[in-house]
Structure 1
Amino acid sequence: MNKENLVRFRDLINMRLAELNAEDQLGETGQATVELDQQAVGRLSRQDALQNQAMAKATQARRQVERKRLAAALVCMDEGEYGYCEDCGDEIAPGRLELDPAATRCVECATG
């Protein structure tokens, strides 16, 4: 992979990491403990609140997984291994890396 593409993908990864951090700050309110006072909220409202809390936690977990994948991609860049399929060793198509800069497998190996 040429240096220009490497710089571009590093920028994409860093921008996505910044987005994830911003989303974390916005999502903290959705994970707050749900109050037990059902008289004040009502049973259905409480169930909605519990469901929203569960969804917020699941979203946080997905962001954490993505953050780890992006961090691993940065390590691969530093080691000169970024952009190569971990299965076959071929170069991963730039278009695939545009869609998922943390991709570790080429299209053929990922679908194969």
Structure 2
Amino acid sequence: MNTAGAEEFRALIAARLADLDAEDALGQAGQATVELDQQAVGRLSRQDALLSQSMARATQARRDAQRTGLTAALHRLDAGTFGYCEDCGDDIAPGRLRLDPTAQLCVDCARG
């Protein structure tokens, strides 16, 4: 991959990491501990709050997994292995990498 291509993907990955950081900041309130105050909140409202908390934590786990994949892609860029299939060594299509910079397999190897 040439230098211009590498810088394009480095910028794309950095932008996606920044988006994840912004989403993290928004999602922190949803993961806060649900307080038990039966005077102010009924049982169903508490269950709804617990469900919302659970969904916020699951969303955070997905963001963490995305962040891990993007960080690994940055390491592959630094090592010069970004854009090459880990199974066969062929180039991964740039369009595929623009959609998912964490892709580690070409389309043929991903199909199996």
The reply to whether TM is greater than 0.5 is yes
Separation in 2, partners of 1:84, 1:75: 13
Provide the secondary structure at the position in 1 that maps to 2:77: helix
Alignment of 1:48-87 (within 5 A): 48-87=48-87
Report the Cα distance in structure 2 between the residues aligned to 1:59 and 1:107, rounded to whole angstroms.
27
Alignment of 1:1-80 (within 5 A): 1-80=1-80
Residue of structure 2 in register with 1:90 after alignment: 90
The CA deviation at 1:38 is: 2.7
Corresponding residue for residue 104 of structure 2? 104
Which stretch of the first structure deviates more once superposed, 1-10 or 17-26?
1-10
Percent identical among aligned pairs is 67
Residue identity opposite 1:66 in structure 2 = Q
TM-score for both structures, normalised by structure 2: 0.96
Aligned residue identity for 1:46: R
The CA deviation at 1:39 is: 3.2
1:33-90 Cα shifts (integer Å, max 9, x gaps): 0011133111111111000000000011111111011111111111111000111111
Distance 2:111 2:53 in 1: 34
Q: Please tell me the residue identity of whatever aligns with 1:67.
A: R
Amino acid corresponding to residue 39 of structure 1 in structure 2: Q
Cα shift at 1:2: 2.0
